[in-house]
C-alpha cells in the first residue's frame, strides 16, 4: 500500500512511502532501500494516524538517507562481456554464439558461457530480452546448485534444521525464513564476497530458532559469526555490486 505524507510544515517535503504489516514486528520501523523506496514496517493493529505521525517525525532522517544514496550507475552494454560471481570464486566470459532454436546459456569449461539460439522475433529488443531471460535462468539454477551444499554445511556445523532452500531475484530483500523452515535467499548473493554470503546464510538459519530480531537472536548470530556487524554493513551496501542488467529492462 502506498501513501502520501501530507504535512503542515512548509519546510518538509511530501514523501511517498509504502506500508508493510508484519506479525513479527514489535515496533514501528523505517527502511530506505537502495532504489529509493521508503518502507514503513508496522505491527498489526497500529493505526494509520500513528504511522503517519511516525513518518512525519522521522522525515529529516528519511531525506538525509535518500540524499546519501549513491548516484545510479552509468548504463552498460547488454549483454555484458563478462559475468563475475565473487561469492563462488567464479568469473566467465560471455560469447554470443547465435544459431537456431531457443536462446539458452551453455557453460563451456570453467571460464566461458556461450549463449546459443535466437529470439525469432527479429528485433534487437526481443533478442536482448531473450538473452536476459536465459542468463537469469542459468544464474538461478547455478546459484541453487552452489548454495545448497554451503547452507547444508553451515546448518550441520551450527546444529540447525531447515526444510528447504529457495532462490529468488528480489529488489529489496536479501533473504527470509518462514515459520515452516523454508529459507529463501536472493540470487544476488552471488555478487557478494564469500564471507558476506556465509553471513547471510547464518542470518537466516538463526531465524529457524528465533523468528525475530531480538537480543537473543543477535547473540546467537554472534556465536556463529563473530564479524556479523561488519558483514551486515557490507550486505546492506551489497546492492552496489549487483550488475545493473539484473533488474533493468533489457
68, 97, 124 - which closes a domain: 68
With respect to residue 73, please indicate whether it lies within any of the assigned structural domains: no
With respect to residue 77, please indicate whether it lies within any of the assigned structural domains: no
- Check whether residue 86 and residue 60 sit in a common domain: no
pLDDT value at position 68?
Answer: 75
Q: State pTM to two decimals.
A: 0.74
Domains in the chain, number: 2
- Check whether residue 60 and residue 89 sit in a common domain: no
- Check whether residue 33 and residue 95 sit in a common domain: no
Q: Which residue has the higher pLDDT, 60 or 140?
A: 140
pLDDT averaged over every residue in the chain: 87
Q: 99 to each of 3, 102, 109, 150, how far by Cα in Å?
A: 49, 9, 20, 36
Percent of the chain with pLDDT strictly greater than 70? 89
Taking the C-alpha atoms of residue 101 and residue 119, their distance in angstroms, rounded to an integer, is 8
- Check whether residue 226 and residue 109 sit in a common domain: yes
Residue spans of alpha helices (H) in 75-168: 124-158
Taking the C-alpha atoms of residue 189 and residue 205, their distance in angstroms, rounded to an integer, is 15
CATH number of the domain to which 132 belongs: 3.30.2010.10
Give yes or no for a contact between 233 and 222, defined as CB atoms under 8 angstroms apart. Answer: no
- Check whether residue 101 and residue 148 sit in a common domain: yes
Give the model confidence (pLDDT) of 146-187 as tens digits.
999 999 999 999 999 999 999 999 988 999 999 999 999 999
HSE-CB of 143 using CA atoms within 13 angstroms: 26
Give yes or no for a contact between 193 and 86, defined as CB atoms under 8 angstroms apart. Answer: yes
- Check whether residue 204 and residue 168 sit in a common domain: yes
Q: Which of 7, 4, 3, 2 is nearest to 60 (CA)?
A: 7
- Check whether residue 50 and residue 109 sit in a common domain: no
Taking the C-alpha atoms of residue 226 and residue 218, their distance in angstroms, rounded to an integer, is 11
Taking the C-alpha atoms of residue 97 and residue 95, their distance in angstroms, rounded to an integer, is 6
Q: Is pLDDT of 143 > 70?
A: yes
Taking the C-alpha atoms of residue 112 and residue 134, their distance in angstroms, rounded to an integer, is 15
- Check whether residue 166 and residue 89 sit in a common domain: yes
- Check whether residue 130 and residue 48 sit in a common domain: no
What is the domain extent for residue 27? 2-68
Amino acid at each position: 500500500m502506498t501513501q502520501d505524507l501530507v504535512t503542515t510544515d512548509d519546510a518538509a517535503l511530501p514523501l511517498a512511502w509504502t506500508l508493510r504489516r508484519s506479525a513479527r514486528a514489535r515496533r514501528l520501523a523505517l527502511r530506505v532501500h537502495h532504489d529509493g523506496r521508503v518502507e514503513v514496517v508496522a505491527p498489526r493493529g497500529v493505526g494509520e494516524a500513528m504511522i503517519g505521525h511516525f513518518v512525519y517525525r522521522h522525515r529529516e532522517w528519511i531525506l538525509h538517507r535518500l540524499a546519501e544514496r549513491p548516484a545510479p550507475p552509468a548504463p552498460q552494454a547488454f549483454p555484458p562481456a563478462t559475468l563475475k560471481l565473487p561469492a563462488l570464486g567464479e568469473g566467465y566470459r560471455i560469447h554470443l554464439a547465435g544459431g537456431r532454436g531457443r536462446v539458452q546459456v551453455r557453460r563451456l569449461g570453467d571460464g566461458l558461457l556461450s549463449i546459443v539460439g535466437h529470439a525469432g522475433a527479429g528485433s534487437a529488443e526481443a533478442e536482448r530480452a531473450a538473452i536476459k531471460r536465459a542468463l537469469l535462468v542459468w544464474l538461478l539454477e547455478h546459484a541453487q546448485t552452489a548454495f545448497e551444499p554451503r547452507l547444508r554445511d553451515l546448518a550441520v556445523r551450527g546444529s540447525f534444521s531447515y526444510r528447504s532452500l529457495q532462490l529468488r531475484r528480489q529488489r529489496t530483500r536479501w533473504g527470509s525464513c518462514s515459520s515452516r523452515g523454508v529459507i529463501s535467499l536472493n540470487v544476488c548473493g552471488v555478487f557478494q564476497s564469500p564471507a558476506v554470503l556465509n553471513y547471510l546464510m547464518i542470518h537466516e538459519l538463526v531465524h529457524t530458532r528465533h523468528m525475530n530480531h531480538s537480543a537473543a537472536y543477535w547473540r546467537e548470530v554472534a556465536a556463529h559469526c563473530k564479524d556479523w556487524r561488519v558483514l551486515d554493513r557490507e550486505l546492506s551496501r551489497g546492492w552496489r555490486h549487483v550488475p545493473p542488467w539484473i533488474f533493468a529492462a533489457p
